[in-house]
Amino acid sequence: MSLFTIDKSKCKGDGKCALVCPVQIIGMDEKARIPYPIDGAEKLCINCGHCMAVCPPGALSLKTMAPQDCLALKEGWKLDSDKIEFFFKGRRSIRNYKDQPVGQPVITKIIDISRYAPTGINRQPVLWEVISGKENIRQLSEAVVNWMRAMIEEKSPLAAMLRLENIVSAWSKGVDRVCRGAPHIILAYSVKDEPTGAQACTIALTYFELAALSFGLGACWAGYVSMAVNMSKDVRQLTGLSARAACHGAMMLGFPKYDYHRIPLRNSPNIRWR
């Protein structure tokens, strides 16, 4: 089967599919005004679906996806700039959670949204792990704190820079500043030799955090967790990630315990115009 097929009765010959193709593997028959895959197109195609998505009448069907299999964009789906501004600026990192778990279908839905985050040449390398349950979260926090203790004992410069003594001291007083009582920890990881893994996971988790807000949930980056997963065998073993995995981010998730009513100030942007 060819990389893509064209329904000639629908094709308008506008060439949009060829123009938006990121790797430029679509040619146009200038006489018939019908697109075609160039030689070697199948090996170069990144399966992004741009060509299929940009065609108004849905004349182009990829071997891997067809217009009728994809969600159609609804009229008015874009948010105006005011709503976007308040949504982004109004987001808060949530560190206080209700004692209430989030349903698995909701977490699955948020991850499903997040998988549409951009990835380099559409490699889609992001893998996910969801850790839930009070005891599992407590064990994870404890393992991270034990890793911190070892870093402090070794007089690691990282321990001083990250002020790990404060985290360990809080833990000894019954205060969890690692996972902060969140009912869920979300890990985003990839295989270690994936060159786009770090960037893809960071962007996907950013999507996750913003999408969570629309479900009435709160999230916060769990930097100590992701760092410990990559540096401590005990923490890695607790998560079940293999030695081939590189954790590129962790996020707390749950129902916010408190509501926020205004947007705090931030530094003005430092911009260079050239």
**pLDDT over 70, % of the chain:** 100
Is a pLDDT exceeding 80 seen at residue 260? Answer: yes
Strand partners, 130: 186
Gap between the Cα atoms of 109 and 42, Å rounded = 32
Residue pointed to by tokens 């599919």 = 17
Q: Is the separation of the CB atoms in 252 and 185 below 8 Å? A: yes
Q: Is the separation of the CB atoms in 59 and 11 below 8 Å? A: yes
Report CA-CA distances (Å) from 80 to 18, 76, 86, 92: 30, 9, 10, 21
pLDDT per residue as tens digits for the range 152-162: 999 999 999 99
Q: Rounded mean pLDDT of the chain?
A: 97
Sign of CA dihedral 140, 177, 225, 134: positive
Q: Which residues contact 231 (CB under 8 A, 6 or more apart)?
A: 147
Neighbours of 102 (CB within 10 A): 21
> How much is the pTM?
0.94
Strand partners, 254: 218
CA gyration radius for the chain?
23
Determine what percent of the chain falls in helix, strand and coil, rounding each to the nearest 5.
40, 15, 45
Q: What local confidence, expressed as pLDDT, does residue 149 receive?
A: 98
The amino acid present at 59, given as its one-letter code, is: A
Strands annotated E in the chain: 4-6, 26-29, 34-37, 60-62, 127-132, 184-191, 218-221, 245-254
Q: Is the separation of the CB atoms in 196 and 119 below 8 Å? A: yes
Tally the residues of the chain.
Answer: 274
Task: Say which DSSP state 150 is in.
Answer: H
Confidence grade of residue 99 (pLDDT, cut at 50, 70, 90): very high
What's the rounded mean pLDDT across residues 134-150? Answer: 98
What's the rounded mean pLDDT across residues 63-87? Answer: 95
Confidence grade of residue 1 (pLDDT, cut at 50, 70, 90): low
Is a pLDDT exceeding 70 seen at residue 106? Answer: yes
| Domains of the chain, earliest start first | 4-69 (3.30.70.20), 82-254 (3.40.109.10)
